[in-house]
Every structure is written in C-alpha cells, then in structure tokens.
A = this chain, B = another copy of it.
Amino acid sequence: MSVLAEFSMSPMDKGESVSKYVARNLEIIADSGVPYRLGPMGTCLEGEWDEVFGVIKKCYERMSEDCRRISVAIKLDIRQGASDRLTAKIAKVEKLVGRELNK
C-alpha cells in the first residue's frame, strides 16, 4: 500500500504568524527519513500507515508542549500496488495535459 498523506498543523493561540511552528515541524519531518514534499498549503508524506502517522504524531507532541489549541488537516490517498507517488502523480497529469505545468 502507498499511503500518500498531506497534512498541515497550526497553533490557534499564537497569533497571525505561525511559520516558527511550521518550521519546527519541518525539521521533525526532514529528520524522519520518510519521503516528503513541502508545498504552500501543507506537507505531503509517503509511506506505510504507521510510518506516516508516526511522523504526524511526533509533530503533534512537539507542538502540544507549548501550544494550547492546535488545528490539523490530513488528507490521504491510499492505493494498492502504487509507489513513488510524490512525483509520479504530477508527472502523469503533465503527460496527459501534454504541456509543462507549474509545479
């Protein structure tokens, strides 16, 4: 199974700018060894269920140390017999459209 997850996690009680907290999570993600890709609205991870949710839980535990209210959105696309979808999904769409897309 390829579990492709996109997630975003933000404190609600730290005011308008939350990039410090997002950066902290990205360190956890980059150090995890799980393939990932940072986007403007969230980070995509690919792996087995427990790998992916292991990383998300670590981010949550770190954020809960100093944040009182946390908002999280997780979207999953899980598919049997698939792999390398962090890059393969975009490549397939681009091929079908037949021109270069912004990515």
Name A18-48 residues within 8 Å CB distance of B.
18-20, 22-23, 26-27, 30, 35-42, 44
Name A57-103 residues within 8 Å CB distance of B.
57, 60, 64, 68-81, 85-87, 89-90, 92-94, 96-97, 99, 101-103
Please give me the residue from chain B that is nearest to A73 by CB atom. Answer: B75
Nearest CB of chain B from residue A32's CB, rounded to whole Å = 12
Do the beta carbons of B44 and A44 come within 8 Å of each other?
Answer: no
Count copies of this chain in the complex: 4
The binding surface of chain A is classed by DSSP as mixed
Q: A22-B93, A23-B97, A44-B41 are in contact. Are A73 and B74 (CB under 8 A)?
A: yes
Please give me the residue from chain B that is nearest to A63 by CB atom. Answer: B78
Q: Which 10 residue pairs are nearest across A and B when measured between Cβ atoms?
A: A23-B96, A72-B76, A13-B16, A6-B41, A74-B74, A70-B78, A38-B103, A39-B39, A16-B69, A68-B80
